[in-house]
Amino acid sequence: MPNIKLVDAFTDFVEESTLPYRQMMTYYNCALMEVETKFKVLNEQFSLFYDRNPIESIHTRIKSQSSILKKLQKKNLALTIPNIENNLFDIAGVRVVCSFTEDIYSLANSFLNQDDVRLIEKKDYIQNPKENGYRSLHLIVEIPIFLSDEKKWVKVEVQFRTIAMDFWASLEHKIRYKKNLSKERLNEIDKELLECAKICKTLDEKMEEIKTGN
């Protein structure tokens, strides 16, 4: 259940700054459309030259109001639009699910080589997985959106995963955050999920070997 106080606080904030808030969220939505289009174009180009589509799916999302507020509070920042725009880099998120690990790096490099994409931060959890087994390539970028009277740069988080990585991450979240589990059972689940992550990594490597051998 969402924190009622957090929701009420954000509702009051939105009501007090309706137009600026709506503008900000519109900018993020437009940035998502721009990034999604870029990847769709790259997917078509890869299909043309390599006779296959490296992208299995593209998902976009905007961070919820309660998540925005919680993140600001965690950073000890006041609830203001400048604080949101300047300190939260993952309000707009794109997840690109690829066929193979090699595709992730090829797409990421092609994306970053575009002259209207600015790299802010890169975290490679494929080469350096998190302790829980999570694997993905994360980019924080800025891209321009072109409005009627200005060009505005907007930050977007892009996550790249293989099908196996995405499968694990999606189910890990559902399993780990089940309610009413004892600490002992949670520890057991952590170990089991880490083992599953290792299996997914092996599967990715095996599929890559099979593809290369064709």
Identify the three-state secondary structure at position 67.
Answer: helix
Whether pLDDT at 15 is above 70: no
Task: Mark whether 204 and 142 lie in a shared domain.
Answer: no
Structural domain harbouring 68: 4-164
Tokens for 41? 């174009």
Which whole number is the average pLDDT over 137-161?
A: 95
Q: Check residue 16 and give its pLDDT.
A: 53
Task: Mark whether 151 and 57 lie in a shared domain.
Answer: yes
CA pair distance 28, 24, nearest whole angstrom: 7
Which whole number is the average pLDDT over 46-58?
A: 89
Q: Find the catalytic residue in 56, 85, 150, 157.
A: 157
Task: Mark whether 99 and 77 lie in a shared domain.
Answer: yes
Q: Check residue 10 and give its pLDDT.
A: 60
The alpha carbon torsion through 12, 14, 20, 26 (nearest 10 deg) reads: 170
Tell me the pLDDT of the chain averaged across its residues: 89
Task: Mark whether 140 and 178 lie in a shared domain.
Answer: no
Task: Mark whether 160 and 180 lie in a shared domain.
Answer: no
Task: Mark whether 152 and 183 lie in a shared domain.
Answer: no
pLDDT tens, 79-96? 888 999 999 999 999 999
Task: Mark whether 149 and 193 lie in a shared domain.
Answer: no
Whether pLDDT at 145 is above 90: yes
Whether pLDDT at 174 is above 70: yes
Task: Mark whether 120 and 37 lie in a shared domain.
Answer: yes
Task: Mark whether 20 and 64 lie in a shared domain.
Answer: yes
Whether pLDDT at 99 is above 90: yes
Tokens for 134? 């999570």
What is the pLDDT confidence band of residue 1, given thresholds at 50, 70 and 90? very low
Q: How many domains does the chain have?
A: 2
pLDDT tens, 176-192? 776 677 888 888 989 99
Task: Mark whether 60 and 13 lie in a shared domain.
Answer: yes
10 Å Cβ neighbour count for 107?
A: 22
Is 157 a residue of the active site? yes
Task: Mark whether 119 and 195 lie in a shared domain.
Answer: no
Task: Mark whether 184 and 109 lie in a shared domain.
Answer: no
